[in-house]
């Protein structure tokens, strides 16, 4: 099993793309290939949400990836104090240009949730079944 990898990103728009690159590079170094594109897209959505909704202008966000024999867990830690409501899936109107991120995450991931991070912020996590080179992921 590989060691967990994490990286902090500054609160700027370019960080979303850098977070995607970090995830893909980490998965590749671990030999995980089964869910790479789904994980990349979910990291992008969660990093964008952390940047827009969960980080202030002085604090960024952290992306952490961990894996075992069958699953990859992705966490995005934000830094804004807990005075806002929990992330939730919304039903965006057809004409809305935003509001579909967690719908995408929920449809691609095998699980997701939100945890408190004390003293401030939260962790939004996702879980993916992922095959490794030379092996298959087990079914749940």
**Rounded distance, CA 33 to CA 30, Å?**
9
- The DSSP code sequence of 53-120 is II--TT--EEEEEEE-SSEEEEEEE--S-S-SPPP------TT-SS--HHHHHHHHSSEEEEEE-SSS
31-90 confidence digits (pLDDT tens) = 988 889 999 999 999 999 888 887 777 789 999 999 988 899 999 998 876 555 566 666
Domain parsing of the chain, residue ranges: 5-129
pTM of the model: 0.81
What is the helix (H) or strand (E) element at residue 21, kind and residue range? helix 14-30
Q: Which CATH number fits domain 5-129: 3.30.565.10, 3.30.70.100, 3.40.190.10, 3.30.70.141?
A: 3.30.565.10
Residue 140 pLDDT greater than 50, yes or no: no
């Amino acid at each position: 099993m590989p060691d967990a990898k994490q990286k902090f990103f500054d609160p700027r728009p370019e960080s979303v793309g850098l977070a995607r690159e970090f995830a893909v590079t980490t998965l590749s170094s671990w030999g995980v290939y089964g869910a790479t594109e789904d994980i990349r897209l979910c990291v992008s959505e969660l990093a964008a949400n952390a940047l827009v909704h969960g980080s202030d202008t002085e604090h960024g966000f952290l992306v952490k990836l961990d894996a075992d024999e069958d699953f990859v867990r992705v966490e995005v830690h934000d830094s804004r104090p807990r005075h806002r409501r929990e992330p939730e899936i919304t039903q965006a109107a057809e004409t809305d240009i935003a509001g579909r991120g967690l719908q995408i995450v929920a449809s691609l991931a095998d699980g997701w949730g939100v945890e408190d991070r004390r003293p401030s912020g939260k962790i939004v996590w996702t879980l993916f079944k992922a095959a490794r080179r030379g092996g298959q992921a087990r079914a749940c």
